[in-house]
Structure 1
Amino acid sequence: MRRRLINSTLAVVLVVIAVFGLSLVLVETRTIENSARESVDSEAVRLLSIVDSRLGGGERVGPDVLRDQIGSDRYARIEMPGRPVIEIGKRPTGEVIEAEETGAEGEKVLVQESTATVTREVGRTLVIILAVALLAVIAAVLLAVRQAHRLSAPLTDLAETAERLGSGDPRPRHRRYGVAELDRVADVLDGSAERIARMLTAERRLAADASHQLRTPLTALSMRLEEITVTDDPDIVKEEATIALGQVERLTDVVQRLLTNSRDPRTGSAVAFDLDEVVKQQIEEWRPACRSAGRAIVWTGRKAMQAVGTPGAVAQVLATLIENSLMHGSGTVTLRTRVTGNQVVVEVTDEGPGVQPELGARVFERTVSGRNSTGLGLAVARDLAEADGGRLELLQQRPPVFALFLGREAGSQEHEH
């Protein structure tokens, strides 16, 4: 592309120089010839006038008087009746430009100039025109090189940006080149890079969330299946199988929820549901794990409450909070349900050291963790809560009190337990 730009610019300049240069040469040549002819005519008239005036005044007419009135490269011949012929300069050979004038006393003045003088003047003019044309060509080449670089360098840069996008590096470069069309292409590539980056981020986030959120249900399901394999009691097998089926349904709900949130985190499917069922189900699922850790899990507070949300998402949030207490806390894990205004609140607390002071509210940020964990659990739990219009907050750091706020179904009846 650079070579084509230079060649095209140079071709245009050469055409312009050829057209206007040839015209200029013709005009200047004719101008120089006409000027020489007019100058010869003028000198002949001037010499005749001087001769006439001197003859009329009876003065002497000699070469020394007339020599200063004619150019050094010209020849003059003056003929006067009854007087010797006067010649000034060297008579030219070859083609000449001449002018002859006759006076009132019969005198004649002849002025000649060789055309070689005119040719030399034309040659000097041609040299000047050629020098100017050469300078114009050089300037055009330099301008073409600069313009070609200005256009080809951004195109090369844009090609590299597109190649980077294709190779999986979606970082926008935000480079602009001062050329409207190229800047438009750069805007489109930067916009594409940002969209690709968001898509890749969403995919990575989905993979991380799925890995974290599916770990606990799969572990619980594995424990139920192990219980079935080690018992011969049909009633226990039936009970464990029923619980396992419920866990599979919740696992399916978790997967669906993760996929929905990955497409649009604000999308929710909130409905009115029995909060007691979700809380009891979580306590039943986590009681074996608590018993294995030598700890207890209890439920206090109001009962028979109707909350607004997605049961599967609420169960997943509570599971994350309970797992967090088992991993980082100590003592009894307590779930407390209460009402505040038009909201239902589920608090999860334990008797452990709580959240480190330097973490504070940052505990809900991704990758932020006080121990050797991924730091995803609370962040995903908050996203799940907010998707249905609820919220998840840390009410107290020591001992830790996490609270899930949900909408309250109007007209629901509660009683203290």
Structure 2
Amino acid sequence: MRRRLINSTLAVVLVVIAVFGVSLVIVETRTITNSAQERVDSEAVRLVSIVDSRLIGDERITADILRDQVDPTRFAQIRLHGRAPIDVGTRPKGEVIRATEHGEAGETVTVEEPRTTVTDEVGRTLLIIGAVALLAIIAAVVLAVRQGNRLTAPLIDLAETAERLGSGDPRPRHKRYGVHELDRVADVLDSSAERIARMLTAERRLAADASHQLRTPLTALSMRLEEIALTDDLDTVKDEATIALTQVERLTDVVERLLTNSRDPRTGSAVSFDLDEVVKQQVEEWRPAYRSAGRAIVRSGKQQLRAVGTPGAVAQVLAALIENSLMHGGGTVALRTRVTGNQSVIEVTDEGNGVPHDLGARIFERTISGRNSTGIGLAVARDLAEADGGRLELLQSKPPVFALFLSRTHPRKPADDDPGAAGTTPR
């Protein structure tokens, strides 16, 4: 592109020089020729007036007397009636510029100038025009190179930016070049980089959430299959297989929930459900894992509670809290249910050391963990709780008490025929 820009600029300059330069040479040549002719004519008129005055005064007319009146580069000849011609200067050879004037006494004055003087002056003019044209060409090349660098350097930079985007580096550069069109391209690339960065972040988050959330159901399913493999009792096999199928359904629900949250974390499908059933299911699923760790998991509190939410999501939240207690807590884990106002509350507590004081306010942030873990589980649990209008809080740091708050009734939606929904007041 730089070469094309320089070539096109040079072509334009050369065309301009050719058009205007040739015209200027023609005009200047005519001007110089006319000026030389006018000088010779003026010389002849002046010289004939001198001869006339001397003839009227009956003075002598010789070449020596008139030599000072004639330019040294010119030749003059005076013809008087009845006398030999008087030559002043040296007659030029070759082409000449000639002027002839007649006096009142019948004399004739001829002045000649060699045309080489015109040729020399035209040559000097051509040199000046050529020098100006050369300077114009040099200036055009310099400007073309600078303009080419100004345009091609940003294009190379934008190409590198696009290549970085293609190679997986979506960081926007926020670099501008002072050229509106190029700045517009840079704006589009930066916007694309930000969108790609958000998409990559969402994909990484989905992958991290999936690996974390699927681990628990898969572990529970693996334990059930091990129970089936270790027993010969057909009834036990049937019971364990039924529980395993339930866990497969939960696993499917986890996958669907993760995909839904990856598109929009606020698209909950809340329904009224039996909270006791979900709590009981979680206790039964996690009891083998706690038994293997030499610990116990129990439930207590108010029975026959109902709540509004997504059963699968609530089960995932409780599973995250129970797993958190298994990994980081100690002693017996207790699930207590109670009612406060219009909300059903499930508290999960254990007898461990609790949450460090410096992490208490940030425990639900991603990558925040009190030990060597991913720090994803509680963050995902809070997102799942909030998706259906609930909330997950840390009520107490030591011993740790996590509480899941769920509404007991659906929020009232204004009906289409409700006058208040339209913003009017019934009369």
Flag whether TM exceeds 0.5 (same fold).
Answer: yes
- 1:395 paired residue number: 395
CA gap of 1:203–1:56, structure 2 versus 1, over 3 A, is: same
Q: Which stretch has the larger CA shift, 123-132 or 172-181? A: 172-181
Partners of 1:250 and 1:68 lie apart in 2 by: 126
Q: Which stretch has the larger CA shift, 80-89 or 274-283? A: 80-89
CA gap of 1:110–1:340, structure 2 versus 1, over 3 A, is: farther
> Per-residue CA shift, 1:313-334, capped at 9, x if unaligned?
1110111011111111112222
Could you tell me which amino acid in structure 2 is paired with residue 91 of structure 1?
R
Partners of 1:205 and 1:289 lie apart in 2 by: 27
Could you tell me how far 1:134 is from its partner in structure 2? 1.1
Partners of 2:147 and 2:14 lie apart in 1 by: 18
Could you tell me how far 1:69 is from its partner in structure 2? 4.2
> Per-residue CA shift, 1:140-174, capped at 9, x if unaligned?
12222222222222332333333333333333333
Superposed, 1:89-238 pairs within 5 Å as 89-238=89-238
- 2:415 paired residue number: none
Could you tell me how far 1:201 is from its partner in structure 2? 2.1
- 1:415 paired residue number: none
Partners of 1:286 and 1:111 lie apart in 2 by: 129
Superposed, 1:9-408 pairs within 5 Å as 9-57=9-57, 66-81=66-81, 86-408=86-408
Q: Which stretch has the larger CA shift, 281-290 or 234-243? A: 234-243
Could you tell me which amino acid in structure 2 is paired with residue 362 of structure 1?
R
CA gap of 1:80–1:368, structure 2 versus 1, over 3 A, is: same
Secondary structure at the aligned position of 1:109 is classed as strand
> Per-residue CA shift, 1:341-374, capped at 9, x if unaligned?
4333222222222111222322222222110111
Backbone CA RMSD of aligned residues: 2.3
Q: Which stretch has the larger CA shift, 79-88 or 37-46? A: 79-88
Partners of 1:35 and 1:278 lie apart in 2 by: 114
> Per-residue CA shift, 1:93-114, capped at 9, x if unaligned?
1111111112222233221111
Could you tell me how far 1:84 is from its partner in structure 2? 7.1
- 2:416 paired residue number: none
CA gap of 1:89–1:302, structure 2 versus 1, over 3 A, is: farther
CA gap of 1:272–1:69, structure 2 versus 1, over 3 A, is: farther
Q: Which stretch has the larger CA shift, 116-125 or 150-159? A: 150-159
- 2:418 paired residue number: none
Partners of 1:130 and 1:243 lie apart in 2 by: 99
Partners of 1:87 and 1:344 lie apart in 2 by: 135
Could you tell me how far 1:27 is from its partner in structure 2? 0.7
Partners of 1:388 and 1:87 lie apart in 2 by: 124
Partners of 2:218 and 2:102 lie apart in 1 by: 130
- Identity score, percent: 79
> Per-residue CA shift, 1:227-284, capped at 9, x if unaligned?
2222233332232222222111111110111111122222221212111111111112
Partners of 2:386 and 2:71 lie apart in 1 by: 105
Partners of 1:352 and 1:64 lie apart in 2 by: 136
Could you tell me how far 1:285 is from its partner in structure 2? 1.4
Could you tell me how far 1:410 is from its partner in structure 2? 5.8
- 1:414 paired residue number: none
Could you tell me which amino acid in structure 2 is paired with residue 118 of structure 1?
V
TM-score, length basis structure 1: 0.91
Unaligned 5+ segments in structure 1 are: 412-417
Secondary structure at the aligned position of 2:357 is classed as coil
Native 8 Å contact 2:308 2:410 kept in 1: no
Partners of 1:56 and 1:306 lie apart in 2 by: 144
Unaligned 5+ segments in structure 2 are: 412-427
CA gap of 1:279–1:64, structure 2 versus 1, over 3 A, is: farther
Could you tell me which amino acid in structure 2 is paired with residue 38 of structure 1?
E
Could you tell me how far 1:405 is from its partner in structure 2? 2.3
Native 8 Å contact 2:303 2:337 kept in 1: yes
> Per-residue CA shift, 1:280-324, capped at 9, x if unaligned?
111121222223323332333333222221111111011101111
Could you tell me which amino acid in structure 2 is paired with residue 113 of structure 1?
E
Could you tell me how far 1:219 is from its partner in structure 2? 1.0
Partners of 1:246 and 1:305 lie apart in 2 by: 22
Could you tell me how far 1:64 is from its partner in structure 2? 6.2
Could you tell me which amino acid in structure 1 is paired with residue 214 of structure 2?
L
CA gap of 1:62–1:257, structure 2 versus 1, over 3 A, is: same
TM-score, length basis structure 2: 0.89
> Per-residue CA shift, 1:18-69, capped at 9, x if unaligned?
1111111111111110111111111221222333344445566565665454
- 1:2 paired residue number: 2
Secondary structure at the aligned position of 2:405 is classed as strand
